[in-house]
């Protein structure tokens, strides 16, 4: 029994001497030993600076000064991990049983660089396995004695970290000032990870849960729960993921202030139009592939007061590329440019609106949010002062330039085909090329210009281009051309029968059978020279200008009573002048007087001519009715006198 006690005493003394030797060993020697062991186990270089402090029981741990941990050989020269200080501890008792239970990993100001290439992650540790050798007479045989080591993690903390993720040589994200914590206390427990990062306007928090970490680490597809909370909104995902980062599952995005959320992710100053998701609730079945493509199916999007359904494909880039097919009910974008200013703060704009076009700046920054193509079908679409009926529209976006194609759109009870372009690359410009069929003229003129006196159904074409940062600037810069044909219609406020003196008229209105005109626009002024209106008893011609920028009109409208004046016609021009919302209609009497004077002058001329012809006839002794007969009579008189003179000369009678 004494020999057993002596052996135990010798073991205790030897163990104590070993521990004492380790505790008394200089830090650089101890660091060298640790670095050699880490390289033997992982194949990576570990560099420790400063003192290295150890603990042995119940936690085998160390604390170091600045440290770097090498990257995979294929990943590049930058270290996978560097930090100002590192503390690592493992469960000593579990280690004696062959398990690696990590109690803590704590790093100060670390830089963690994660790289993925061809399905390999630089976080996969371990030495390269020895090749399988072939034995005589048979196939390869794996080395014996290998065993799986259970690895768990109680606590991981990275404080003020920088996280870099590189995929196939391209940096996908680079975040600074990140606090990261993780826990995986048991092999059958889920991995719980939490990250926080300061951003403009607050912090972003990410909570991640992988229920089966061993399967995920082996490359299998495993469940994933992800929640991201940011200033202004949140994102949730519940589905599946693999080691390459590919995902498939249910996505939900909810925002209370979308503009604030965009600013948090580096899109500060981007305005979201009201009706397109200042407050948003979007859900869809999402698939994400390793090449940076997102597919959304069975999508339902509540954007402010508008609801859309459909599908979309997104290519992650700067800016993102979007292709979507959407269906909507009654979409309201009539207040798209409305700000969140207090109700009492907009009196100046309201007054400007009442007097003319709005001078409020137009925020067109949303044109830069994405590139791509969106096709939308809807029962109705309301934009400022205009409401489209059932419409099929395609919106193409390319570097702050939007093209809206109408395939067709229902507008003013008719069909509109063509395109409208908004370009914000170098200042805002808007233009278009449109063809309209069976448009309600009164609706169109009333909505676009406040003109309500002309009604009918028309067909025409219109090309235009305007430049400016406000509605007023655009209208004053307009250029373009167009034409219009209207069938039977009515002009209210003008009664041509009464004006031409043919009775009581039609109650202050004029009914016409057809109207056609063409026009040009230059610097916001529309000019027309060929208006022609046909009525039962009249025809009317028109020419003049409409100042679109100033919202005024100066137009000469000349109706002609076709059956008056013994069938020769009688014209009474009417000048239309003033603001187009309430112009005045004044007969142009100067034109009537000129016409009357021209007629009287002709009568005087004819009377004088008759008197001259009568005098000539009296002198010649014959009747002269016109200039030609006067010439003949004079010729005959000269011949007769010549004959008489010749007879006298010859001695005749």
Render pLDDT for 333-387 as a digit per residue (tens, 0 to 9): 888 777 754 344 444 444 444 467 888 898 888 888 889 999 999 999 888 778 8
Provide the percentage of residues in the chain whose pLDDT is more than 70. 69
Residue range 22-28: mean pLDDT, rounded:
48
Given a cut of 80, is residue 645 above it in pLDDT? no
Distances (CA, A) of 160 to 17, 112, 198, 583: 40, 11, 10, 70
Asked whether the predicted pLDDT for residue 155 surpasses 50, the reply is: yes
Directed axis angle between helix 589-620 and helix 627-650, to 10°? 20
What pLDDT score was predicted for residue 441?
Answer: 86
pLDDT at site 40: 74
| Sole residue written with tokens 């009287």 | 600
Strand, helix or coil for residue 98: coil
pLDDT for 298 beyond 50: yes
Compare 284 and 150 and report the one with higher pLDDT: 284
Torsion of CA 607, 609, 611, 614, to 10 degrees: -140
- The answer, yes or no, to whether residue 200 has pLDDT greater than 90, is no
Paired residues of 467 in beta bridges: 429
d(CA 526, CA 478): 9
Quick one: pLDDT at residue 617? 61
Residue reference for tokens 């208006």? 531
What is the torsion angle, in degrees rounded to the nearest 10, for the CA atoms of residue 302, residue 308, residue 314 and residue 318? -60
- The mean pLDDT value for 192-197 works out to 88
Rounded CA separation 163/597 (Å): 94
* Per-residue tokens: 430: 């808007």
pLDDT at position 136: 36
Look at residue 366 in the predicted model and tell me its pLDDT. 83
Closest CA to 378 of 471, 297, 454, 310: 310
> What average pLDDT does range 530-539 have in this prediction?
84
Residue 144 CA: distances (Å) to CA of 130, 141, 147: 12, 9, 9
DSSP H helical segments within 317-440, as ranges?
Answer: 347-355
- Chain centre to alpha carbon of residue 260: 18
Q: Tell whether the model's pLDDT for residue 479 goes beyond 60.
A: yes
Q: What is the pLDDT of residues 544-588, one digit of tens each?
A: 999 999 999 999 888 787 665 555 556 778 888 988 777 887 776
Give the C-alpha separation, 418 to 391, whole Å: 13
The most confident of 446-455, 464-473, 507-516, 571-580, by mean pLDDT = 464-473
Q: Find the angle CA(428)-CA(442)-CA(543) to the nearest 5 degrees.
A: 80
CA distance linking residue 373 with residue 98, whole number of Å: 58
Confidence (pLDDT) at 225:
94
Would the pLDDT of 127 be above 70?
A: no
**CA 482 vs CA 90, 106, 476, 527, 621: distances in Å:** 82, 73, 18, 11, 67
Vertex 133: Cα angle to 130 and 134 (nearest 5): 165
- pLDDT digit string, tens, across residues 550-560: 999 999 888 78
Distance CA 217, CA 172 (A): 21
In this structure, what DSSP letter does residue 56 have? -
- Only one residue has tokens 């449109």, namely 434
From the CB of residue 570, how many other CB atoms can be counted at a distance below 10 Å?
A: 18
Most confident of 136-140, 399-403, 645-649: 399-403
DSSP letter for 119, please.
Answer: T
What pLDDT does 432 receive? 94
Identify whether the C-beta of residue 111 lies closer than 8 Å to the C-beta of residue 82: yes
Q: Among 65-79, 446-460, 592-606, which is the least confidently predicted range?
A: 592-606
Q: For residue 37, name the pLDDT band (cuts at 50, 70, 90).
A: low
pLDDT tens for each residue of 2-12: 444 444 444 44
Instruction: Give 610's pLDDT tier (boundaries 50, 70, 90).
Output: low
Computed on alpha carbons and rounded to an integer, the radius of gyration of the chain in Å comes to: 46
Higher local confidence (pLDDT), 409 or 117: 409
Is the model's pLDDT at 642 over the cut of 60? no
Q: Provide the CA 392 distance to its chain's centre, in angstroms.
A: 17
Task: Report residue 34's pLDDT band, with 50, 70 and 90 as the boundaries.
Answer: low
Return the pLDDT at 347.
42
> With left for phi above 0 and alpha for psi between -120 and 50, is residue 551 left, alpha or beta?
left
Which residues in 436-448 are b (16+ Cβ under 10 Å) and which e?
Answer: beebbbbbbbbbe
Share the mean pLDDT of the chain. Answer: 77
State the residue for tokens 């998701």: 277
β-bridge mates for residue 280, sequence order: 255, 303
Question: Counting beta carbons within 10 angstroms of the beta carbon of residue 647, is it exposed (0 to 12), middle (13 to 18) or buried (19 or more)?
Answer: exposed
**Taking every pair of C-alpha atoms in the chain, what is the biggest distance, in angstroms?**
202
Contact call for residues 69 and 80 (beta carbons, < 8 A) = yes
Average pLDDT over residues 143-163: 66
Q: Running DSSP on this structure, what letter comes out for residue 148? A: P
SS (H, E, C) 487-504: EEEEEECCCHHHHCCCCC
What are residue 572's DSSP bridge partners?
none
Count of residues making up the chain: 653
pLDDT for 132 beyond 50: no
How far is residue 49's CA from residue 647's CA, in Å, rounded to a whole number? 155
Beta carbons of 121 and 70 less than 8 angstroms apart: no
Name which of 78-82, 423-427, 495-499 the model is least confident about. Answer: 495-499
Q: How far is CA 440 from CA 51, 417, 418, 443, 480, in A?
A: 87, 15, 18, 5, 22
Give residue-wise pLDDT tens across range 301-343: 999 999 999 999 999 888 889 999 999 989 998 887 777 543 4
> Which pair of structure tokens corresponds to residue 495?
């009664």
Q: How confident is the model at residue 500 (pLDDT cuts 50, 70, 90)?
A: low
**CA dihedral of residues 332, 334, 339, 340 (deg, nearest 10):** -50
Cross-strand bridge partners of residue 281 = 254, 302
> Taking the CB of residue 365, how many other CB atoms lie within 10 A of it?
15
């Amino acid at each position: 029994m004494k020999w057993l006690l002596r052996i135990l005493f010798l073991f205790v003394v030897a163990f104590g001497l070993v521990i004492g030797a380790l505790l008394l060993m200089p830090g650089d020697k101890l660091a060298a030993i640790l670095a050699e062991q880490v390289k033997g186990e992982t194949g990576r270089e570990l560099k420790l600076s400063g003192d290295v402090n150890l603990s042995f029981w119940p936690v085998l741990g160390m604390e170091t000064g600045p440290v770097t941990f090498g990257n995979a050989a294929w990943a590049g020269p930058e270290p996978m991990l560097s930090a100002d200080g590192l503390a690592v501890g493992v469960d000593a008792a579990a280690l004696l049983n062959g398990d690696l239970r990590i109690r803590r990993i704590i790093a100060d100001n670390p830089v963690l660089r994660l790289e993925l290439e061809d399905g390999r992650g630089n976080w996969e540790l371990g030495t390269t396995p020895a090749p399988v050798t072939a034995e005589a007479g048979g196939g390869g045989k794996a080395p014996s004695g290998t065993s799986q080591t259970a690895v768990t993690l109680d606590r991981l903390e990275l404080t003020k970290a920088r996280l870099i993720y590189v995929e196939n040589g391209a940096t996908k994200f680079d975040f600074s000032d990140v606090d990261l914590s993780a826990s995986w206390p048991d092999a059958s427990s889920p991995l719980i990870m939490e990250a926080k990062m300061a951003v403009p306007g607050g912090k972003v928090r990410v909570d991640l849960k992988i229920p089966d970490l061993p399967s995920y680490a082996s490359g299998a597809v495993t469940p994933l729960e992800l929640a991201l909370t940011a200033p202004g909104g949140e994102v949730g995902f519940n589905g599946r993921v693999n080691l390459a980062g590919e995902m498939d599952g249910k996505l939900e995005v909810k925002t209370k202030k979308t503009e604030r959320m965009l600013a948090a992710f580096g899109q500060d100053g981007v305005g979201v139009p009201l009706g397109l998701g200042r407050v948003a609730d979007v859900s869809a079945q999402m698939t994400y592939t390793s090449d940076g493509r997102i597919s959304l199916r069975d999508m339902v999007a509540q954007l402010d007061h508008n609801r859309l359904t459909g599908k979309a494909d997104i290519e992650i880039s700067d800016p993102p590329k979007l292709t979507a097919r959407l269906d909507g009910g009654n979409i309201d974008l009539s207040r798209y440019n409305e700000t969140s200013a207090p109700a009492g703060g907009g009196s100046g704009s309201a007054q400007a609106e009442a007097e003319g076009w709005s001078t409020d700046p137009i925020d067109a920054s949303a044109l830069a949010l994405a590139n791509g193509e969106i096709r939308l079908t809807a029962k109705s679409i309301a934009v400022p002062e205009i409401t489209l009926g059932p419409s099929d529209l395609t919106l193409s976006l390319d570097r702050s330039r939007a093209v809206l194609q109408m395939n067709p759109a229902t507008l003013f009870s008719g069909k509109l085909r063509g395109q409208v372009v908004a370009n914000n690359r170098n200042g805002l410009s808007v233009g278009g090329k449109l063809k309209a069929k069976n448009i309600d003229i009164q609706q169109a003129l009333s909505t676009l210009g406040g003109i309500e006196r002309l009604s009918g159904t028309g067909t025409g074409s219109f090309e235009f281009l305007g430049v400016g940062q406000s509605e007023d600037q655009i209208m004053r810069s307009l250029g373009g051309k167009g034409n219009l044909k209207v069938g039977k219609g009515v002009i209210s406020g003008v009664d041509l029968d009464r004006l031409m003196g043919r009775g009581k008229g039609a109650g202050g209105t004029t009914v016409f059978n057809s109207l056609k005109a063409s026009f040009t626009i230059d610097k916001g002024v529309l000019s027309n020279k060929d208006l022609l209106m046909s009525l039962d008893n009249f025809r009317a011609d028109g020419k003049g200008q409409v100042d679109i920028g100033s919202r005024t009109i100066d137009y000469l409208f000349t109706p002609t009573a076709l059956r008056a004046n013994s069938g020769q016609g009688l014209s009474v021009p009417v000048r239309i002048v003033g603001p187009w919302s309430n112009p005045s209609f004044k007969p142009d009497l100067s034109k009537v007087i000129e016409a009357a004077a021209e007629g009287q002058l002709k009568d005087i001329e004819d009377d004088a001519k008759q008197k001259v012809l009568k005098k000539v006839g009296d002198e010649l002794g014959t009747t002269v009715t016109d200039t030609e007969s006067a010439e003949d009579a004079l010729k005959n008189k000269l011949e007769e006198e010549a004959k008489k003179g010749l007879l006298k000369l010859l001695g005749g009678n």
